[in-house]
Structure 1
Amino acid sequence: MSLEFKVFTLNCWGIAVVSKDRKKRMQAIAEYLATSHYDVVCLQEVWTDRDFFLIRDKVVGVFPYSHYFYSGVTGSGVCILSRHRFEETFFHQWSLNGYIHKLHHGDWFGGKGVGLCTMKVNNFRINVYTAHLHAEYNRNSDEYEAHRILQAYDTAQFIMLTSQSADLTVLAGDLNTEPGDLAYRVMLAVPGLVDSFESFDIQEEQGATFANPKNSYTPRCSGRQNPGQRIDYIMYHPGSRLQVDLKSYKVPLPERVPHQSCSYSDHEAIEATLEISQKTIESFSRDQENLKSVLKDCLNVVDHALNKLITHKIVYFTFAIILFIVLLVSIIFDAPEGFFVVFNVLRALIVVLITFCLLMATIWNKMEKHGVLAGKLAIEMSLKKHTNS
């Protein structure tokens, strides 16, 4: 007995007000999916209820089952559409999700994490996971590297611990990490996933899913400088007594929305067709040396992050003390004539900044430290287990 299972994933770039051409692109995405033949669709950056309901209602004839993973302030942005009935759904929110004061980044407000939907298809148990890791805003100076690596490890652990009874495990989404990056290596090594792109004969330059030169939202200058980044993935892993073969992998959407000058998103969609066959194969075993190397690299990054937290704490306390001294001086000396209101506004601003610095040095620093330590202890335990095995 065998089964073909077709998966589609797309980061829809659905930020209200900010994302260009959002309404007509969401309509176009819904129309495309309504005529598609996928088993499962994983979407990211569907940030508004209205956009989710639009897509859900448009595709209900093809995908009668849908689930949006609510989380955080704006919602997680991730959802799953399926031809097959869901048996269970669950959302695991990461403890590290960026910074609340980085309003221009906004990752913290999404309450990001990994969503899981389980289903049974022709007696095969299938676990489908979708995730959207923290964005990499500056590759040369990545302040979120530790957050993203720990999110990747957390996700990898979650998949490993919840997929033991599954006949097929699929992870699809925008992982915001390129092949070879530590977060990418964690995703493959810990739960033993396979990158479908690497399993198919495709040229590397054809695989860019973000900043692709053919995408209408890629600045023309950047298109001439590099071929884009591959940060969206469909990964999979078979059950212990099954075999999974990758039948096809491709970028399914046309370069432009029909009759429009824009692309469907600033990301490219990808699809993969997997064939599950009930064939006894040798038990899966991880590459122990590679796994240990990945875990050690993670610990190095985590230790560096903990040292940075100590520095951040000192810096914020120092700023708070300096600002407090400035506030005292402004109180001791009277405001110059005609500048009373300005002085009071400045004093209020200083009080706000002192409060912010104290919060960052105490509560927020402690929360981030605990999140990093939780990941470090889990990695150390896993490393010890694989070192002694």
Structure 2
Amino acid sequence: MADTQPPSSLRILSLNCWGLKYLAKLRNERLTEIGNQIAAADPPPDIVGLQECWTQQDYNAIRERTQHLLPYGKFYYSGIFGGGLVILSRWPIEESSMMRYPLNGRPAAFYRGDWFVGKGVACARIRMGPTRRDIAEVFCTHLHAPYETEPFDSYLCHRTAQAWEIAKLMRGAAERGHLVIGLGDFNMVPLSLAHRIIETHSPVRDVWRMLHPNSSVGAAKDKVEKLRGLPMPSAEFNLTTNGATCDSALNSWRWNEAHKKRLAKGENVAIKPSVPDPNAKRLDYIFFSSGSHYSAAAGESTAEWTLKDANVGMTMRHPTLYCSLSDHFSVEATLTRSTSEPSSAVDNGPWALPETYLPIEIYDEILATVSAYVARERNQRRLRMGHFGFQFIVTIGCLIAIWWSPHNYVSFILMFISSLGLSIGVLEGLMGGLFVGSELRALREFEWEIRNTKARAIANRDKASAYDTS
């Protein structure tokens, strides 16, 4: 049963489980143990967000082990193969929805899979007590994976648009006066464009940078980190200070082949926490915004929640297989309720948030990225439609050639070529005519929003300048 009293503290956990069906090694054993470790966590979590939990079987295994601790849960369905998102809670989930991102990869990149899983935001409205003040809105997501480094990542436009969409959702929740929790694998490094969009266009803050404002903004081997002139961090330093959740030297799935072979033989390989760790970076986040309410008695707003601590967790190994439980570590945080004012004394009306903006040149950068991607996709559409037309002509030619075919095997080859070519051409035509058209329309919507926000930012800047000179 859920607790009936509103909580005075809130423990949050987010983990990418690496549960790719058929592809992730030792999937069943690892995700079962993830359930065991969530159930044994101290302090116990109150809200858990999971990513890459793709199958109902794995979800059920985790639920079975955490049911006593987190009696409420939701497995989110999306796309062709599922979104891989899960939210578990100590309290009832009043409302739930799965919002798919309008820009979400390309079906032609079937070997990457982002489009096929229908990536989006799992939204849950969780009631922790009897009043409107006791509501948390949780947003669990997994943004499009980067396949090249920024700014050369061909999917940068998609991830930027996805960050914009989740920022809008979290801002709306904050304007309702609720506690907002955004968590997941954002596939971005701190202070990247997507990171700045989220923290600027919604009131949420990255809990790790709240506690560690000078923590790394990438892997130690990256140019952006080398320019800071800091010494090579150890694996332990990356965990405790930089908040690295991915590519850690302590994660068995990132080891070299020699270590992996020893592990495969059943050896419990020990890695010293002091080893240099040039590849580790932070891709997993918890963002939060305290519910703001207006007190008629005090005549001022009050912040409901404050951040107490944050840490990287789930670093333990499987007890018998000795492998890490996932290729990511978890990020965890504790929030405490800072006000002792009774709920009845608070007017839970709408709360207007101040407008905040990125520098104008950043909006220009986003628009330039969109423009370049639109040009690329229009060219792709022409090529794909041209390929369809070419294959159609080849098919007609092969069918005509069969009339003069001297042998049956030649006829068979011509029929095979025509059928295969037409099939490929039809797929190309569908992607060029349907998918790319849909993507271009989504890009137009995103472009309009950026231009509209840029105009407001310019007006706000001009107004501030006029005020300063008056």
Asked if TM exceeds 0.5, the reply is: yes
Confirm or deny that 1:126 pairs with 2:120. Answer: no
1:103-142 matches, within 5 Å, as 103-122=110-129, 123-139=133-149, 141-142=152-153
Q: Counterpart amino acid of 2:253?
A: Y
- Alpha-carbon distance between aligned partners in 2 of 1:203 and 1:364, rounded to the nearest angstrom: 40
For 2:109, the equivalent position in structure 1 comes to 102
Instruction: Provide Cα deviations, 1:46-72, integer angstroms capped at 9, x if missing partner.
Output: 110111111112111000111122122
Q: Determine the C-alpha separation between the residues in 1 that align with 2:184 and 2:210.
A: 17
**What's 1:382 paired with?**
453
Superposed displacement of residue 194, structure 1: 0.8
Contact 2:290 2:306 in 1 (8 A): no
**Letter in structure 1 aligned against 2:156:** E
The separation in 2 between residues aligned to 1:7 and 1:102, in whole angstroms, is 34
Aligned partner of 1:308: which letter? R
Distance 1:32 1:313, change over 3 A: same
Q: Do the aligned partners of 1:35 and 1:62 also contact (CA within 8 Å) in 2? A: no
What is the distance in 1 between the residues matched to 2:303 and 2:127? 15
Q: Distance in 1 between matches of 2:158 and 2:285?
A: 19
Match of 1:214 in 2: 250
What is the distance in 2 between the residues matched to 1:151 and 1:283?
Answer: 24
- Of 84, 91, 115, the residue aligned with 1:84 is 91
CA distance in structure 1 between the aligned counterparts of 2:451 and 2:181, rounded to whole angstroms: 26
Task: Determine what percentage of the aligned residue pairs are the same residue.
Answer: 27
RMSD: 2.6
Q: How does 1:202-281 map to 2 (within 5 A)?
A: 203-204=215-216, 205-206=238-239, 207-220=243-256, 226-240=278-292, 241-242=302-303, 244-278=305-339
* Alignment match, 1:171: 182
Match of 1:50 in 2: 57
| Number of positions where the alignment pairs a residue of Structure 1 with one of Structure 2 | 386
TM-score by length of 1: 0.91
Pair 1:7–1:312, CA change in 2 (3 A): same
CA shift, 1:217, in A, is: 0.7
Aligned 8 A contact 1:243 1:277 in 2: yes
Partner amino acid, structure 2, of 1:124: D
Q: Distance in 2 between matches of 1:120 and 1:153?
A: 26
Residues 364/40 of structure 1: CA separation in 2 closer, same or farther (3 Å cut):
same
User: Which structure is larger by alpha-carbon Rg, 1 or 2?
Assistant: 2
Kindly indicate whether residue 96 of structure 2 is the aligned counterpart of residue 35 of structure 1: no
Contact 1:47 1:77 in 2 (8 A): yes
Answer yes or no: is the 8 Å Cα contact 2:317–2:323 preserved in 1.
Answer: yes
The verdict on how the C-alpha distance between 1:159 and 1:332 changes in structure 2, with shifts beyond 3 A counting, is same
Matched, 1:352 2:423: yes
Q: 1:79: how far off?
A: 1.0
1:153 aligns with 164
* Contact 2:247–2:328 under 8 Å retained in 1: yes
Q: Using a 3 Å threshold, how does the CA distance of structure 1 residues 254 and 210 change in structure 2: closer, same or farther?
A: closer
1:13 has 2:49 as partner: no
Contact 1:189 1:291 in 2 (8 A): no
8 Å CA contact retained: 2:100, 2:119: yes
